Structure 1
Amino acid sequence: MGLPRSRPDGVTPQPKGSSLLCTLPGSSSIGSRHPHGSVGFSTSLCVPTDSSDTQNNQESTKRKHHSHPNSTKLATASLVLGSPQYFNRGTVDSSINTGPTPPRSNSTSQSSKPQFDCVALETQILKNKGFSDAMISTMRAARKSTSARAYYRVWTSYKQWCLKHKMNFDKFSLPNLLEFLQEGVSLGLSLGSLRSQISALSILFQRRLAFLSDVKTFLQRVAHVAPPFRKPVATWDLTLVLKALQRAPFEPMKSIPLQWVTWKTVFLIAIASARRVSENSALSCRTPFLTFHSDRAVLRTVPTFLPKVVSAFHINQEITIPTFCPLPANPKEAALHSLDLVCALKFYLHRVRDIQKTDSLFVLNSGPQKGASATKTSISRWIKQTVHRAYVAQGVTPPDKIKAHSTRGMSTTWAFCNQASAEQLCKAAMLTSLHSFAKFYHFDTFAAHDTRFGRKVLQAAVGSST
């Protein structure tokens, strides 16, 4: 759904600096404990008033707006133009990615569209509560930039939806909200995506939308229509990949191309640490963030990195990488030693020494940015390439839809099957409990064990044949 060429619906031309009195209910959804109620404020609206805009606005005042009896007026004064960098138009985003999300249509030419400034809108919402500029800056920093961009995309999509259906964007209406969510269901959005949209719109309208009885009922019904199914079996085989890493083209590391050394090292760290790609991208090659010992290497993320959960435990957690068959005594142990991550890490650092332009552990190994810090996107691509190339090297068709994040589930699952304790699992993957592991990361890697029950039943045929 594209943005129209005119201003947002229902906004009348105002002289610069004119005031609009609006009300917002209090909420704690963005960290405030302001009591529920109305907050009066006045603000400025900067809108061009050319003839075409005036005509379009006159037409918009004739439109019939659908509203809820308990609707809440949003700060229309915050619908200003500018700041296109804060959102990507045309896509409904989710902070919980459970599958591909069909984009909402975007038919209007981007060059002719006004920009919806979500940052200004959120700032105005906080100003309405009486917060100072310094406090607003701190409040906005409480949410990670990726989450903020995801929320802003939802706000933009909801605004576009309101314009398309001639609904009033500046007021909260429960029927409008549910219709917007229903369109997402029709487009194939997952239950997690819908919950993310509700969270984003809760901040926009300063209401705890997820607690409304009709919203609860709607989500319960969606769970029946589109149940949150998760594939129980991993899409790729860790044993096959590790077997491939012990031979060409991933060996010998002292002579293979740097690209292959990078792929192998990144993959082994992802598997051995069970950490997220974002954490691996924040590792450093400098002391004290990387320390080698006789039997292990200890890594730490840089102080500027903020993990998904910002706490003293998560920020200061070390990644300890052990040696593996450090003194091989036979060919089998020699092959296993090729998976020694401490050794691989030393090889990698030696190979990138002459091109490294940053303190980041992982750097780009080719292209115009050669030697610069590798982004999360690059590291994710390297992990997927490693799995793909390993399958090709083994003469096996690579699986579809390999996800770099699957290394967390694969790593913790194999550790669990090999008798790793609950404490070890939770500490390595930085999980709060085994429930999180079972819900999000556990794969059924030993499904063949469950065949024993069926075989016991079928053994009845053995007795009947005698």
Structure 2
Amino acid sequence: MNLSEEASRIILAAHKPTTKKSYHYKWSSFEKFTRTVGHTPLSAPIPVVLDFLVHLSNKNFSLSSVKCYLAAISSGRRKFGLPSLFHDHFIQLFLKGYKNVHPPTSLPSPQWSLELVLSQLSKPPFEPMASADVSHLSWKTAFLVAITSARRSSELTALRSDPPYIRFHDDKVVLRTDVTFLPKVVSYFHMSQDIILPAFFPNPSSPLEVALHSLDVKRALSFYLHRTSAYRKSPKLFLKYRKDMLGHPISSQGLASWIVSTIQLAYQLAKKEPPSHIVAHSTRSVSTSQAFLRGVPLDQICRAATWSTPSTFASHYKLDIQAKKDAAFGRAVLFSCVA
């Protein structure tokens, strides 16, 4: 087709840059495989495609990963007028059989204790925040934002430090992602929501309240912005602190590493063995489950975590759905430290 340059540009935007990079890698893997059997990715018949899927199976790839490879290969072949591989009868049967031979499994609920981590965040080396090492300040702030928002690392790295993307109020702080950020699901619902995080005991009047106030995400963000202002080179909220990259925005992988490091260090400080498998994404299940168990209405949990329907919460975290304000979500999560 003789498409205009502008039409081609918009069509190419159908895939996000991360998707394009992922598809390119998977296409290259398929191309390398087909060369070994005397074909090209475009000339490879269905039996060769199936042999490639078997090759992935031998590497213990999950069904979802196999489907991702198929999507990448189909995308590349469709550019040359070839039909989608997903429409082929033998491919469909292979995927059904793969599910039976390699049944999907899910890890058990996160085994790390939110109560333990929060209790350690109110002590050195995370406190006092005015003099804590910037690495510990960064970890603590990122962790508190993660658990009180239940957002993905990719969303947290898209937050900005300048108005109107961040607004401080007496009882909360309101955040927004950069307008150029495309979330996992591109819809008005997923792109238009403020992230509302609570102030936590903003005016402490007892030693216990002082300790709880140390978990105030609004306070943590205030310290973090003040401490990073001297070397800030980007409007993005979270910045790298390593000397050779000081002041540049952190990647979603880097921020995920901060969260995992926070949990591991908290266990070490408590003189306990950290769980063997910790992922940053588990903050979503831990925080939403804690909020649910403490009576936060399900619609508010779904809104906080940008789930358009409760079924996502139910299917991912295996909880019975029997629901019993915006800032109530984050406050309920923080209260887990006092049982």
**TM-score, normalised with respect to structure 1:** 0.65
Instruction: Please state how far the C-alpha of 1:162 moved relative to its aligned partner.
Output: 0.7
Cα pair distance change 1:318/1:442, threshold 3 Å: farther
The one-character-per-residue Cα deviations of 1:124-173 (angstroms, maximum 9, x if unpaired) are: xxxxx432232111111121111111111111111111111223432252
Taking the aligned partners of 1:184 and 1:372, their CA distance within structure 2 comes to: 37
Taking the aligned partners of 1:245 and 1:443, their CA distance within structure 2 comes to: 28
Taking the aligned partners of 2:221 and 2:311, their CA distance within structure 1 comes to: 33
Specify the alignment match of 2:63 in structure 1.
Answer: 191
Instruction: Please state how far the C-alpha of 1:237 moved relative to its aligned partner.
Output: 1.7
Specify the alignment match of 2:337 in structure 1.
Answer: none
User: Which amino acid letter does the alignment assign opposite residue 184 of structure 1?
Assistant: L
Specify the alignment match of 1:201 in structure 2.
Answer: 73
Which structure 2 residues correspond to residues 140-159 of structure 1 after superposition, within 5 A?
Answer: 140-159=12-31
Specify the alignment match of 2:156 in structure 1.
Answer: 280
Q: 217-226 or 293-302, which moves further after superposition? A: 217-226
Taking the aligned partners of 1:143 and 1:306, their CA distance within structure 2 comes to: 11
Which protein is richer in helix relative to its size?
A: 2
Matched, 1:349 2:225: yes
Taking the aligned partners of 1:339 and 1:134, their CA distance within structure 2 comes to: 50
- Secondary structure, aligned partner of 2:243: coil
- Secondary structure, aligned partner of 1:297: strand
Matched, 1:434 2:306: no
Matched, 1:131 2:7: no
- Secondary structure, aligned partner of 2:61: coil
Structure 1: runs of 5 or more not aligned:
1-128, 445-466
Q: 129-138 or 247-256, which moves further after superposition? A: 129-138
* Contact kept? 2:160, 2:236, Cα under 8 Å: yes
The one-character-per-residue Cα deviations of 1:24-49 (angstroms, maximum 9, x if unpaired) are: xxxxxxxxxxxxxxxxxxxxxxxxxx
Specify the alignment match of 2:265 in structure 1.
Answer: 389
Taking the aligned partners of 1:132 and 1:171, their CA distance within structure 2 comes to: 28
* Contact kept? 1:249, 1:393, Cα under 8 Å: no
Per chain length, whose mean CA-contact separation is higher, i.e. which structure has more relative contact order (CA < 8 Å, sep 6+)? 2
Specify the alignment match of 1:419 in structure 2.
Answer: 295
Specify the alignment match of 2:125 in structure 1.
Answer: 249
Instruction: Please state how far the C-alpha of 1:443 moved relative to its aligned partner.
Output: 7.8
Taking the aligned partners of 1:415 and 1:146, their CA distance within structure 2 comes to: 32
* Contact kept? 2:42, 2:77, Cα under 8 Å: no
- Secondary structure, aligned partner of 1:298: strand
* Contact kept? 1:233, 1:443, Cα under 8 Å: no
Identity rate of aligned residues, in percent? 38
* Contact kept? 2:166, 2:175, Cα under 8 Å: yes
Match 1:323 to one of 175, 185, 199: 199
- Secondary structure, aligned partner of 1:432: coil
Taking the aligned partners of 2:112 and 2:289, their CA distance within structure 1 comes to: 13
* Contact kept? 1:296, 1:342, Cα under 8 Å: yes
Structure 2: runs of 5 or more not aligned:
321-339
User: Which amino acid letter does the alignment assign opposite residue 211 of structure 2?
Assistant: A
- Secondary structure, aligned partner of 1:171: coil
Taking the aligned partners of 2:291 and 2:16, their CA distance within structure 1 comes to: 31
Instruction: Please state how far the C-alpha of 1:411 moved relative to its aligned partner.
Output: 1.5
Taking the aligned partners of 1:441 and 1:272, their CA distance within structure 2 comes to: 17
Taking the aligned partners of 1:435 and 1:130, their CA distance within structure 2 comes to: 44
Instruction: Please state how far the C-alpha of 1:368 moved relative to its aligned partner.
Output: 1.6
- Secondary structure, aligned partner of 2:244: coil
* Contact kept? 1:240, 1:390, Cα under 8 Å: yes
* Contact kept? 2:268, 2:274, Cα under 8 Å: yes
Instruction: Please state how far the C-alpha of 1:208 moved relative to its aligned partner.
Output: 2.8
* Contact kept? 2:147, 2:284, Cα under 8 Å: yes
Matched, 1:181 2:53: yes
Which structure 2 residues correspond to residues 33-432 of structure 1 after superposition, within 5 A?
Answer: 129-206=1-78, 207-432=83-308
* Contact kept? 1:283, 1:301, Cα under 8 Å: yes
* Contact kept? 2:125, 2:133, Cα under 8 Å: no
Q: How many residues align?
A: 316
Q: 254-263 or 433-442, which moves further after superposition? A: 433-442
* Contact kept? 2:240, 2:247, Cα under 8 Å: yes
Bigger-Rg structure (1/2): 1
User: Which amino acid letter does the alignment assign opposite residue 158 of structure 1?
Assistant: F
Instruction: Please state how far the C-alpha of 1:431 moved relative to its aligned partner.
Output: 1.2
Specify the alignment match of 1:47 in structure 2.
Answer: none
- Secondary structure, aligned partner of 2:307: coil
User: Which amino acid letter does the alignment assign opposite residue 331 of structure 1?
Assistant: P
The one-character-per-residue Cα deviations of 1:46-65 (angstroms, maximum 9, x if unpaired) are: xxxxxxxxxxxxxxxxxxxx
* Contact kept? 1:410, 1:442, Cα under 8 Å: no
